[in-house]
């Protein structure tokens, strides 16, 4: 028996769910809900480390670098999920925040066994992605032992990239190979070792924090409005209209008119309404303020 795995919190037997196979449906649900309620506190305990990671991410992305998630199984899927939601939410280039899973895209739908133990593939992934010293790599592994992730982080560090680890055990193998280690310990799973449960939930909360706070710091929101979204479908067009109205107090027709004039850019439309600038002038003002709508509005107001 491997002593490392035997010592993992995520591999322990949960004493509170021992008889789950004898529970009614309601009792099972209550047990799951009781265990899930422990997740937010575990994440909250890691806020000091998450803060450090966000500061690194903000610095890297602000200066032209990229963010890469790497993981296997549930952990890899969480990274791909978070990365894939960033372009529609924050209007960024899909290559800015990338998610990669051991075994490739097929592993998003099917369990591809063995790839998490493939250190060579972790190294090869970093090299295929063209990771540089200007980038940051976030490795995710519940056990902290996935060779694919550890080797990928080690290779990234050799190149000079910043490295962040997300794990669900303290004193893991992952901790020694990254600049910042975020380790929300959620305890033994309802079903022994099934880290798609509490551990996976904690990972999703952490990744939400990493990208959301980084994007806010990059000026991708106005107050708490996602102003950098592009109105690329009916739902997002409707949301854009509501965001413009909330930010400017104009009516629906005016919001739609400005959105059209701004080539479906919600942020640009708000800038035009708030400042009276035309599309070209508003875009130039935003660029001068690194894309921060609030800063651009304040700067123009001072000039006037």
Confirm whether 22 is a catalytic residue: no
Name the H helices within 180-251: 198-217, 234-248
Out of 116, 154, 189, 283, pick the active-site residue: 116
Instruction: Report how far residue 11's alpha carbon sits from residue 7's, in angstroms, rounded to the nearest whole number.
Output: 7
- Alpha-carbon separation of residue 247 from 200, 242, 273, 282, 288 (angstroms): 36, 9, 10, 16, 21
Strand partners, 166: 140, 182
Instruction: Report how far residue 62's alpha carbon sits from residue 220's, in angstroms, rounded to the nearest whole number.
Output: 12
* Residue 108 phi, psi dihedral angles, 5° rounding: -70, -30
- Alpha-carbon separation of residue 9 from 50, 119, 124, 170, 194 (angstroms): 21, 24, 30, 8, 12
Confirm whether 85 is a catalytic residue: yes
Which sequence positions are flagged as catalytic? 85, 116
């Amino acid at each position: 028996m491997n002593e490392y795995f035997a010592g993992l919190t995520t591999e322990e037997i949960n004493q509170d769910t021992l008889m789950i196979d004898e529970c009614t449906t309601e009792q099972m649900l209550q047990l799951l809900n009781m265990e899930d309620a422990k997740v937010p506190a575990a994440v909250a305990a890691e806020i000091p480390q998450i803060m450090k990671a966000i500061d690194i991410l903000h610095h890297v992305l602000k200066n032209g670098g990229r963010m890469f998630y790497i993981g296997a199984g549930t952990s890899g899927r969480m990274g791909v999920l978070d990365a894939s939601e960033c372009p529609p939410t924050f209007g960024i280039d899909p290559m800015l925040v990338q998610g990669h899973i051991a075994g490739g895209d097929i592993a998003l739908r099917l369990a591809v066994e063995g790839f998490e133990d493939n250190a060579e593939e972790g190294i090869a992934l970093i090299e295929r992605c063209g990771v540089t010293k200007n980038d940051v790599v976030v490795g995710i592994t519940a056990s902290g032992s996935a060779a694919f992730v550890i080797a990928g982080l080690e290779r990234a560090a050799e190149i000079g990239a910043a490295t962040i680890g997300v794990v669900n055990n303290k004193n893991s193998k992952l901790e020694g190979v990254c600049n910042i280690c975020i380790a929300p310990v959620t305890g033994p799973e309802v079903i022994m070792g099934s880290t798609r449960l509490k551990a996976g939930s904690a990972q999703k909360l952490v990744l939400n924090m990493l990208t959301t706070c980084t994007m806010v710091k990059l000026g991708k929101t106005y107050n708490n409005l996602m102003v950098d979204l592009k109105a690329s479908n009916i739902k997002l067009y409707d949301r854009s209209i509501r965001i413009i109205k909330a930010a400017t107090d104009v009516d629906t027709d005016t919001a739609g008119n400005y959105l059209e004039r701004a080539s479906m850019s919600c942020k640009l439309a708000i800038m035009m309404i708030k400042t009276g600038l035309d599309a070209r002038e508003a875009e130039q003002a935003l660029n001068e303020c690194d894309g921060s709508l609030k800063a651009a509005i304040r700067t123009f107001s001072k000039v006037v």
